[in-house]
Chains A and B, each alone.
Chain A
């Protein structure tokens, strides 16, 4: 076999690809589902924490800041491994899917809180005071004056961070979740041919390439004009 034949036989083996394509497609939808769950719960929790922080209750804010710092400093894989391999030692069993979802939700929550909070604090104090003096309540000021302005400038950093964290769904393969990478890995070890990995890489590109381009577009579209 020539080098080229060996290359195509290894990475673009049609027979192996046809055999494992259905598994990769299953993995694709699992990855999409996991990513959407993480985005929904992570962003909602992040916004909730940022709003809670706006009330300015000292001990509570320290706690929020600590939780945010914690999940920004810990590598996501360490959190997943701790939840999946560590908790059973204490008698709590989580499935790989739940462990990955929980870990990445906490990470996205932390980053989102930080970004939402920066957005809220970027609204000048004078606007708070003006809104309050026209008779709006604290929550009304937050909802009608501060948040609409704050959210706009959080969109670019939030999009990029969300994309980066949802790519972390590939880590779920480490805890036996049959997502794209998990299915591809299984395919390689059954067929003893790396073509399923090529399929997996293509699947990730189909999923994330448009998202990355979208993120680039959002960054220029929403760029704050100085």
Chain B
């Protein structure tokens, strides 16, 4: 027990590591604030494009989305970070993470928003168009607001996954929370910094998990 406490909950080490962990936490928050809007932007683009009926748009789009849903995000990230410099395109850790998340989470957000858009009855779109709204206005003022509301639990759930996923940026040496915790752990040879990072993630994300659990239960129960 003493060994456990000393290895995982060592106050002395926590005090020494706290400045670097704090920097890591800030970088994780900044990273989330960057990649969530990026992914959402990609998702809206995909969802709006998916309303186009032409097979020349529909099938390439579906292959695009399924490709980035099939490729593990870490593989995509490593490919961008370690592969592109060989052809002279060095976009760095932040650039690779931004592009990788745009491609990967954009596909997921796109699928969710597409389901939302499909949940809006066609009659509404026709009604909006016949009152004189343009196609674009119908999308932004009539379809999207309702679509987003209909798939809100899925959007929140995906956002939670995206924030958790920012931890893979540690693999390309971006100094976010997990990377900093690993650094501190390898210097001190003590697991307390990693434990502290885990606690930080949990404290940050637990409220979201609770909220989701409520929303999902209501959602499934409402299907009967």
Contacts and interface: CB of A to CB of B under 8 A. Distances in A.
Interface string B43-81: 000000000000000000000001101111111101100
B31 to A, nearest CB: 12
Given A73-B205, A85-B194, A224-B223, A194 B7 contact: no
B194 A78 contact: yes
Given A89-B191, A209-B67, A78 B220 contact: no
A85 B183 CA distance: 11
Interface residues of A, number: 61
Nearest to A120: B220
Contacts, number: 160
Interface in A87-105: 87, 89-91
Nearest to B77: A170
Nearest to A91: B3
A75 interface: yes
Contacts of A185: 78, 82
A188 B76 CA distance: 15
Contacts of A119: 220
B25 to A, nearest CB: 13
B30 interface: no
Given A10-B87, A78-B201, A122 B220 contact: yes
B173 interface: no
Interface size classification for chain B: 35 or more
A75 B224 CA distance: 33
Nearest to A66: B206
A212 B74 contact: no
Given A69-B209, A78-B198, A87 B70 contact: no
A197 B82 contact: yes
Given A118-B220, A201-B79, A193 B86 contact: yes
A164 B171 CA distance: 19
A74 interface: yes
Given A78-B194, A79-B198, A153-B220, 16 more contacts: A10-B87, A69-B206, A69-B210, A73-B164, A77-B178, A78-B201, A81-B178, A121-B220, A122-B221, A124-B224, A153-B223, A188-B82, A198-B83, A201-B71, A205-B67, A211-B70
Interface of A: 3, 6-7, 10-11, 69-70, 72-79, 81-82, 85-87, 89-91, 114, 117-119, 121-122, 124, 153, 164, 167-171, 173-174, 180-181, 184-185, 188, 193-194, 197-198, 200-201, 204-205, 207-209, 211-213, 216, 224, 226
Interface of B: 3-4, 7-8, 66-67, 69-76, 78-79, 82-83, 86-88, 160-161, 164-168, 170-171, 178, 181-182, 185-186, 189-191, 194-195, 197-198, 201-202, 205-206, 208-210, 213, 216-217, 220-221, 223-224
